[in-house]
Amino acid sequence: MRTHHLAVLGGDGIGPDVTDAALLGVRAAGERFGFTVHATDFDGGAEAYLRTGTALDDDTVLRLRSHDAILLGAVGDPRVPPGVLERGLIVALRVALRQSVNIRPVRLYPGVTSPVTTVTPDNCDLVILRENTEGLYTGGGSLSHAGTRNAVAVQNSVTTAQATRDTVEFGFRLASARRNRLTLCHKTNILVHAGQLWQDVVDEVAADYPDVEHDYVHADAMCQHLPLDPGRFDVVVTDNLFGDIISDLGATVQGGLGLAASANHNPTGSAPSMYEPVHGSAPDIAGTGWANPAAAALSAALCLAGLGERDAALALEAAAASVLAELPAHSGPEMGDDTAGIGRRIADRVIDIDPVAVADPDRSLMSALATLAPAHRPG
Ligand code: NAI
Ligand code: MG
């Protein structure tokens, strides 16, 4: 029997609840498709930070490395200054574990309504690949004369060929496993240095993928094309900042942050990848039981795909999508079930749902990821 060792970092607020609920679906998939899940809880987030004064220590990174994959809930707490945990834990892990590609699927599942009337399940199935470790997010720079009228801030942006290539190469591989189309999204007309590097890498890698068509869209224009004509995109590759912004737009297009999933993907297999819902710790509803675990369950489906469990991933995605279609647009008492209850509903459906109920198995992200993701098998 195959065993997958998962590190589980529930984090803060609704993070632990949605992660526990998602794990029910993962275990159900294991029962159906013949693998065992060994989950180890990790302490991380606000409580641990307030107790120890560090967001992430070397020993934790070392222990995380010995797992096949990491499931993250969310971090963030009103008692901790903004940025401490986001940068000190999440961004730090992405860098330490070379999770250089952030995978953000943008799919409108049948039965879910997009706030954009032109978006339908038939035209909304794209994948945004955001470079995950560089750009303006490396933190370098300075602020002089702070708090005065002469204040000057410099925020450095770093773009290396290696990290860009990680994202672009994975993009072409993914596009060739899907609909053979890749779009570079940047601002090459203004950010001429970084833009040129991105375009050079795309042109160079494109030569190895003659079957994949590629084009270019400015980041600002993307904010119009994505909601109005999502069907023109298959795989979109972009830098860290533009990716952050357009993938939140993508989340809105697909029905809301509450159902957006993501993977922090290590394309080399040198360390475990990390899977997390896009939403945060939602302190406003923490403890109410109203957190929707669908985004966490869809992220866990990406995790199963990353572990090579294609059918399990497709079944968990289909089960989460079918439960989503029954939930109200906004969480609250009208959901009928609490977070754990919705997790159990998803898990029950994993057992007998048709794995290809909502996906074309030959074109789906889950199938592609199951084939393309390199195994990280530490032990
Ligand atoms: P948020 O995503 O936590 O919440 C935004 C709104 O959406 C809230 O009204 C919340 O109740 C609702 N919401 C979020 N997830 C939901 C779910 N699963 N089910 C139902 N409703 C849901 O974003 P916000 O409020 O800006 O940030 C709260 C904290 O989370 C902050 O500390 C922030 O820094 C952190 N954060 C952490 C992220 C991460 O761990 N990757 C990502 C985004 C924010
Ligand atoms: Mg964001």
Give the tens place of pLDDT for each residue, 270-314.
999 999 999 999 999 999 999 999 999 999 999 999 999 999 999
- Ligand 1, residue 296: give the atom nearest the CA: 18
84 lines ligand 1 (CB under 6 A): no
Give the total residue count for the chain: 379
Give the tens place of pLDDT for each residue, 28-44.
999 999 999 999 999 98
Which of 369, 260, 268 is closest to 313 using CA atoms? 369
φ, ψ at 266 (rounded to 5°): -95, 105
Running DSSP on this structure, what letter comes out for residue 260? -
pLDDT at 379 over 60: no
Give the tens place of pLDDT for each residue, 344-362.
999 999 999 998 888 888 8
pTM, two decimal places: 0.96
Which of 16, 158, 137, 154 is closest to 87 using CA atoms? 137
258 lines ligand 1 (CB under 6 A): yes
Mean pLDDT across the chain, nearest whole number? Answer: 94
Structure tokens at 117: 């009337």
Q: In what order do the strands lie in the sheet with 101-107?
A: 35-41, 2-11, 69-74, 273-277, 261-265, 101-107, 125-131, 235-238, 181-186, 213-218
pLDDT at 46 over 70: yes
291 lines ligand 1 (CB under 6 A): yes
Instruction: Compute the distance from residue 151 Cα to the ligand 1 centre, in Å.
Output: 32
Candidate of 279, 288, 327, 339 to mutate for ligand 1, largest count of ligand atoms within 8 Å of Cβ: 279
- Say which ligand is closest to the CA of 274: 1
Give the tens place of pLDDT for each residue, 95-148.
999 999 999 999 999 999 999 999 999 999 999 999 999 999 888 999 999 999
Report how far residue 213's alpha carbon sits from residue 206's, in angstroms, rounded to the nearest whole number.
Answer: 8
- Ligand 1, residue 82: give the atom nearest the CA: 34
